Structure 1
Amino acid sequence: MFAPPKRPAHYKLSRAASGFPAFGPAKGDSTRARGLLNETETVEAVSGSAAPGAGPSVETQSIDTIRTLAMDAVQRAGSGHPGTAMALAPVAYTLWMRHMRYSPRDPAWFGRDRFVLSAGHAAILQYAVLHLTGFDLPLEEIRNFRRAGSCTAGHPEYGHVDGVETTTGPLGQGVANSVGMAIAEAHLAAVFNRPGHSIIDHRTYVICSDGDLMEGVSYEAASLAGHLGLGKLVWLYDDNRITIDGDVDLAFSEDVRRRFESLGWHVQSVGDANDLAALDAALEGARGAEDRPSLIIVRSHIGYGAPNKQDTAAAHGAPLGDEEVRLTKEVYGWPAEPPFLVPDAVRGHMGRQVRRGEKLAAEWGERFERYRAEHPETAAELERRIRSDLPGAWDEDLPSFGPDDDPIATRAASGRILTALAPRLPELIGGSADLSGSNNTLIDSPNFSKDAPEGRNLRWGVREHAMASVANGLVLHGGIRPYIATFFTFTDYARPSMRLAALMGLPNIYVMTHDSIGLGADGPTHQPIEHLASFRAMPGVVLLRPADPEETVEAWRIAIERRAGPTILVLTRQKVRHLERAAGAARDGVGRGAYVLRPEPGPLQVVLLGTGSELQVAVEAAGVLETGGVSARVVSFPSWELFRAQPASYRDEVLPPGVPRVAIEAGATLGWTEWVGPDGAVIGIDRFGQSASAADNFTRFGFTAEALVARALDTLAAEGPA
């Protein structure tokens, strides 16, 4: 199972049992005036252990505690975003106290509702709520917001704080992640629920901002969610009319309600974020819209209560200032000192979520035991998938390839491999961005849809960015292992989400075909050049560029077995030959990142390194060199990252120090010096390609045996006599 640093085992089934007070939606507390606070509510006796007295309700105190924690934390950090947290404190309170199902003591409980703060700049809002509702987040971490060594980063980071379901900050990503979580819930419910046993039955809630809805990925994701009718997905849109540059009207004037209605969403509006009764009603209305996702447009006031900064950009991305914090607390009727004040009444009130959550998780665990008793095999399979364990003999049906087989493209080999894996790994679900036939990613299953949520083929349409971000949500939800595909050059549309997958350590599988100028006549717009180098530079990624079908089998094996970080399979459009190698060489060698494909026939003089389709050029060149009396070794180099992780002894065994090296790869040469050394040579391409056949492109740009032989001889000559 995958588990990022500082996080316990990602998913577990709760068996805890505990009682809790009766739970139900509270009556609305509408004591706040609309817009800027103009009353002088007082909090009586809130310091130390005293009770609130006759001041405002404990709900109002709780909301103001969230607000003041946000102000104080940002002020102490010297940076941050207080305004949104101040505005949305009532929204977060209503959601976490009255509607969401979760267990602070069992944060990975599988039956929980998921919450995504897509407006990640408001991280302190989530941290404050997590602290107050009893998650393992001490007040000291709130005090150390944004500081080195603290788990309370400036934007929420998955794996750092229990209750944070995904890393957000780049706007639009969280809302798209949430679509993946909702797809996962719908699919798992269709596969595992049985009559009388609704084991999978939870919702995904999101707080999003104007900025989220301006980002293109949010439109792609919202369009897909509406098309799929994801009825358990709820976005709460913070309509505060302010961006960093000023009023939102500077750049955003569309009718959001009509846009989402046209996308097939159920849309409601709440005129004031402080109206708890209206928020309650809207959330209940969303629950009733079972056939489509819901958007709740919440009109809020950024920096709520700040007498000089409310409803201005000054409240967005900087501390309010000591004097403004003091004045705002005065407006709230809150003591100016001490900072980070949490009244005992608030701690007791919001802390009741611990007992409530324990009971919810325990009740779910009891239902699961009844489910297990009636459906033991199905229950065992669900548990396996929650744990992310691989089933026994999962790779038993992988195809085998050999040198006597006809040439095929590695993308075609990948399609055959995926077809073999799909029945053995029912958690595999995915597809291509409208290129299924080209990427070879369809499996024997229905298409996932609102009428067939058990389907495993995801039809993404031409939505590469959402595809990658939604895939992150699928993994984060649990029980699903997604694969996604497109042309390698179109990763440019998906890169932000792929980067976040790497940052979170998610084991996504990316099937990227049409990997070079070998794509041919579609031309330079479709021919990747810099892409290999760019992903090799991305931390946490393992990129594999297999040379033939046998290496492609092993690349898939690595991708399936990885549990930390994404794997990119970079595959050819054009056919490649099946290369000769020692028995078992690919199985062991691909997993090590590089291995000797063709040993030198005599005392080693030069090493030829290659990846992908160019490895066969290296084999041909070695043969030519041998006839000329030069002893060359050919090294297959499918993965820099895996080879870099090997012991120095193995690396020196494959690439003996002091022996000249020449590499060949149809991509940018950047980075190859690490492997060929300062005196080695690289045949690559550092310009854009052209519209021509694959054969013409490889010849024109020097990816031929003749060119490689010449470069090898030049390198040997430059080295001088031994």
Structure 2
Amino acid sequence: RFVLSAGHASALLYSLLFLNGYDISIEELKRFRQLDSITPGHPENILTPGVEVTSGPLGQGFGNGVGMAIAERYLSSYFNRDGFSVVDHYTYVLASDGDLMEGISSEAAALAGHFKLNKLIVIWDNNKVTIDGPTSLAWSENVLERFHALGWYVQDIEDGYNLAKIEEAVRNAKEQKDKPSFISVRTHIGYGSRLQDDCRAHGAPLGKEAVEEMKKRFNWPLEEFYIPEEAWRYREEKIKNGVKMEEEWRRIFERYRENYPDLADLLLRCFNRDWGKEYKKYLPVFTEGMATRAASGKVLNAIAKHIPTMLVGSADLFESTNTYLHGLGDFQADNPLGRNIHYGVREHAMGAIMNGMAYHGGILPCGGTFLVFSDYMRPTIRLAAMAGLQVIYVFSHDSVWIGEDGPTHQPVEQLSSLRLIPNLWVIRPCDPNEVSVAWEIAIERKDGPTAIILTRQKVPVLDRNIYPTADNIKKGAYVLADTDSSPDIVILASGSEVHLALQAKRMLEDRGIKTRIVNMASFEIFEQQEEKYKLEVIPRNVRKVAIEAGRGLCWYKYVGENGLVISIERFGKSAPYQDLIKDFGFEGEKILYEILGHFKIS
């Protein structure tokens, strides 16, 4: 598998994919960076045949490569049998100076060294130039010593144009049994052009005259997009060899299927992201109240053994996020079948590594941290959504109600911020049984990531003999409690604030005000419903209120400019959460009077 972490070199990747027989035409190479071409400015996995990952934001591809290597280690250990190496490959990463400047590369490299991922090979395009100028402007560390200290096998090639030396270094790397490999290759940006070693060569076109000058220097025909017959023959040979290699693998797999039919079936299902239906039989039904993070932990431990390639990790918060899979072991160098990945305090690397596992295929990656620390991994969440990756995030401690840790750890803007990311589903269940359904939604969704937002504090279990079933959150939002006729007020809420909305309903109806409660568990899923259903749940021309313990701007789409949003528009405080509830006015009676005052109801 190959990751171009230096995504700005996408033209090189597209050219090589063309030469190696992928479905990229000369016409598409000519349409580089043009509207609706399959050769965009940075690689996109869902757009271009042969592109493994969506890269460009520097450092991301490095982390993806580590994730791919972890996936290969786990899957090969799980599925391979004597004589049948059905999962067996190296992961190669081409990284730039900028990739290695980004902190995420150090985070991910530290984990790769710790896990001794010997089938990971990173090649550093060491050209000593970034966009602003020479790397010496801001970079003077000994990169080779850094990787040596992180437990990598390090090689240094002074002449990056000596192909024999590079091949020798790769062969050396493949002989390593307990270390990932880092190969520094000294190159020159704009090699052979008048802009060699000049930062302007990074993004600016050389111009026709400079290109012709360079072609003459290399004795290359001046014709634009010239491809010699030798290259065409090479491409045809690669296509033939590729067909032969695939046929050979399929023959091996058929013999594997004959000997291990259950494993073969599972392998195919996992790479098709078909996680089976067996786990659904074990989704818990809850009868007692608890924090939704605790309910999530019970759900995970009930279903994980029925999804054997689900790998769950945490950024040093397994206990707090309740994401640890008990009895299923820790993934380590000496235990490649462990199902729990300890990422350490490295949220950003965790996100990129989970993306890498999803890009690889066969793995259902899940990871947990506090909601406030989703900010540390936001670039990876955005890329997961852009690339359509099935990744599941468990974000606990979802509001200022986490209490004593104070405003640094109390999320206020994060929930709204996550809802702004296209193709990310955000689900905030209101009780333990909705947590079970949220996990089912996330597992069944194949075309993008899902964030499950969970409380630290205990919440009640709704009596589903009185209220509609928890399955209704599969529509994103639903009428939880209604009136006998058209409502005077509709209150929308999510998560723990749903219970506060129910209190407000009782108080309003004591005053003769007919009130509907809408449980708004997921904006994104609700928006996918038919317009008729959406209007049935949230009708026009009725007074509307939204209640949520976070920034409220997103709610105005539903309540309208004349509606009332009861939210938190400032940072929190350090105090027991019961005191914070009073301080922020999230109590039934205060909510009642705020509603009455806003709509001038006497």
> TM exceeds 0.5?
yes
Cα offsets for 1:373-408 (capped at 9, x unmatched):
111111111111122113233210111023xx2x21
| Distance in structure 1 (CA, Å) of the matches to 2:177 and 2:469 | 50
2:323 corresponds to which residue? 441
Equivalences for residues 650-669 of structure 1 within 5 A = 650-669=533-552
| Distance in structure 2 (CA, Å) of the matches to 1:358 and 1:251 | 47
Equivalences for residues 43-54 of structure 1 within 5 A = none
RMSD over aligned CA atoms reads 1.3
| Distance in structure 1 (CA, Å) of the matches to 2:224 and 2:118 | 42
Structure 1: unaligned runs, 5 residues or longer: 1-113
The 8 Å contact of residues 581 and 598 in structure 1, kept in 2 or not, is answered as no
**Which residue, out of 590, 606, 612, partners 2:495?**
612
Equivalences for residues 159-170 of structure 1 within 5 A = 159-170=46-57
| Distance in structure 1 (CA, Å) of the matches to 2:3 and 2:468 | 45
1:378 corresponds to which residue? 263
Equivalences for residues 638-657 of structure 1 within 5 A = 638-657=521-540
SS of 1:252's equivalent?
coil
SS of 1:671's equivalent?
helix
**What amino acid is aligned across from residue 310 of structure 1 in structure 2?**
Q
The 8 Å contact of residues 662 and 711 in structure 1, kept in 2 or not, is answered as no
1:212 counterpart = 2:96: no
| Distance in structure 2 (CA, Å) of the matches to 1:715 and 1:636 | 22
Equivalences for residues 275-314 of structure 1 within 5 A = 275-306=162-193, 308-314=194-200
Cα offsets for 1:119-173 (capped at 9, x unmatched):
0000000000011111100000000000001010000001111110000000000
**Which residue, out of 214, 226, 229, partners 1:328?**
214
| Distance in structure 2 (CA, Å) of the matches to 1:568 and 1:547 | 15
| Distance in structure 2 (CA, Å) of the matches to 1:585 and 1:508 | 29
SS of 2:383's equivalent?
helix
**Which residue, out of 340, 343, 351, partners 2:228?**
343
2:430 corresponds to which residue? 547
The 8 Å contact of residues 433 and 460 in structure 1, kept in 2 or not, is answered as yes
SS of 1:220's equivalent?
helix
1:249 counterpart = 2:136: yes
The 8 Å contact of residues 522 and 691 in structure 1, kept in 2 or not, is answered as yes
**Which residue, out of 132, 143, 151, partners 1:264?**
151
The 8 Å contact of residues 606 and 712 in structure 1, kept in 2 or not, is answered as no
1:18 corresponds to which residue? none
Cα offsets for 1:65-106 (capped at 9, x unmatched):
xxxxxxxxxxxxxxxxxxxxxxxxxxxxxxxxxxxxxxxxxx
2:243 corresponds to which residue? 358
2:468 corresponds to which residue? 585
Cα offsets for 1:419-474 (capped at 9, x unmatched):
11101111210211000000001113110111110111001100100000000000
The 8 Å contact of residues 467 and 481 in structure 2, kept in 1 or not, is answered as no
SS of 1:502's equivalent?
helix
1:17 corresponds to which residue? none
1:633 counterpart = 2:535: no
Equivalences for residues 35-50 of structure 1 within 5 A = none
**What amino acid is aligned across from residue 175 of structure 1 in structure 2?**
F
SS of 1:596's equivalent?
strand
User: 1:365 Cα deviation (Å)?
Assistant: 1.1
The 8 Å contact of residues 246 and 312 in structure 1, kept in 2 or not, is answered as yes
1:425 corresponds to which residue? 307
| Distance in structure 2 (CA, Å) of the matches to 1:691 and 1:452 | 41
SS of 1:612's equivalent?
coil
| Distance in structure 2 (CA, Å) of the matches to 1:585 and 1:378 | 40
SS of 2:487's equivalent?
coil
SS of 1:608's equivalent?
strand
User: 1:350 Cα deviation (Å)?
Assistant: 4.0
SS of 1:483's equivalent?
strand
1:409 counterpart = 2:291: yes
| Distance in structure 1 (CA, Å) of the matches to 2:188 and 2:467 | 65
1:198 corresponds to which residue? 85
Q: How many residues align?
A: 601
Q: 1:588 to 1:653 in 2, by over 3 A?
A: farther
1:483 counterpart = 2:366: yes
The 8 Å contact of residues 230 and 292 in structure 1, kept in 2 or not, is answered as yes
Query: Structure 2 length normalisation: TM-score?
Result: 0.98
1:14 corresponds to which residue? none
**What amino acid is aligned across from residue 300 of structure 1 in structure 2?**
T
The 8 Å contact of residues 314 and 342 in structure 2, kept in 1 or not, is answered as yes
| Distance in structure 2 (CA, Å) of the matches to 1:594 and 1:686 | 24
1:59 corresponds to which residue? none
Percent identity reads 48
The 8 Å contact of residues 367 and 393 in structure 2, kept in 1 or not, is answered as yes
The 8 Å contact of residues 434 and 471 in structure 2, kept in 1 or not, is answered as no
| Distance in structure 2 (CA, Å) of the matches to 1:139 and 1:316 | 23
**Which residue, out of 70, 73, 91, partners 1:183?**
70
The 8 Å contact of residues 601 and 632 in structure 1, kept in 2 or not, is answered as no
**Which residue, out of 380, 383, 406, partners 1:523?**
406
The 8 Å contact of residues 79 and 86 in structure 2, kept in 1 or not, is answered as yes
Query: Which has more radius of gyration?
Result: 1
User: 1:334 Cα deviation (Å)?
Assistant: 1.2
Cα offsets for 1:239-261 (capped at 9, x unmatched):
10111111111111111111101
Instruction: Out of 559-568 and 190-199, give the one that drifted further.
Output: 190-199
Q: 1:634 to 1:429 in 2, by over 3 A?
A: same
| Distance in structure 2 (CA, Å) of the matches to 1:588 and 1:454 | 33
The 8 Å contact of residues 600 and 634 in structure 1, kept in 2 or not, is answered as no
**Which residue, out of 639, 652, 670, partners 2:553?**
670
1:153 corresponds to which residue? 40
| Distance in structure 2 (CA, Å) of the matches to 1:214 and 1:448 | 28
| Distance in structure 2 (CA, Å) of the matches to 1:347 and 1:478 | 32
| Distance in structure 2 (CA, Å) of the matches to 1:316 and 1:390 | 44
| Distance in structure 1 (CA, Å) of the matches to 2:320 and 2:127 | 44
Equivalences for residues 462-481 of structure 1 within 5 A = 462-481=345-364
The 8 Å contact of residues 683 and 702 in structure 1, kept in 2 or not, is answered as no
The 8 Å contact of residues 598 and 633 in structure 1, kept in 2 or not, is answered as yes
Equivalences for residues 68-79 of structure 1 within 5 A = none
The 8 Å contact of residues 501 and 566 in structure 1, kept in 2 or not, is answered as yes
**What amino acid is aligned across from residue 201 of structure 2 in structure 1?**
A
1:319 corresponds to which residue? 205
Cα offsets for 1:611-661 (capped at 9, x unmatched):
111111111111111222222111111111111111111111111211111
| Distance in structure 2 (CA, Å) of the matches to 1:124 and 1:522 | 48
Instruction: Out of 348-357 and 424-433, give the one that drifted further.
Output: 348-357
Cα offsets for 1:538-581 (capped at 9, x unmatched):
10011001111011111111111101111000000000111234
| Distance in structure 2 (CA, Å) of the matches to 1:489 and 1:586 | 30
SS of 1:717's equivalent?
coil
| Distance in structure 2 (CA, Å) of the matches to 1:638 and 1:502 | 19
2:572 corresponds to which residue? 689
| Distance in structure 2 (CA, Å) of the matches to 1:195 and 1:584 | 55
| Distance in structure 2 (CA, Å) of the matches to 1:222 and 1:119 | 16
SS of 1:395's equivalent?
helix
The 8 Å contact of residues 239 and 298 in structure 1, kept in 2 or not, is answered as yes
The 8 Å contact of residues 159 and 185 in structure 2, kept in 1 or not, is answered as yes
The 8 Å contact of residues 91 and 119 in structure 2, kept in 1 or not, is answered as yes
SS of 2:434's equivalent?
helix
**Which residue, out of 25, 38, 42, partners 1:138?**
25
Pick 1 or 2: higher relative contact order, CA cutoff 8 A, min separation 6: 1
| Distance in structure 2 (CA, Å) of the matches to 1:583 and 1:374 | 53
**Which residue, out of 453, 457, 467, partners 2:340?**
457
**What amino acid is aligned across from residue 284 of structure 2 in structure 1?**
P
The 8 Å contact of residues 498 and 519 in structure 2, kept in 1 or not, is answered as yes
| Distance in structure 2 (CA, Å) of the matches to 1:322 and 1:154 | 20
SS of 2:340's equivalent?
coil
SS of 1:267's equivalent?
strand
| Distance in structure 2 (CA, Å) of the matches to 1:334 and 1:272 | 22
1:64 corresponds to which residue? none
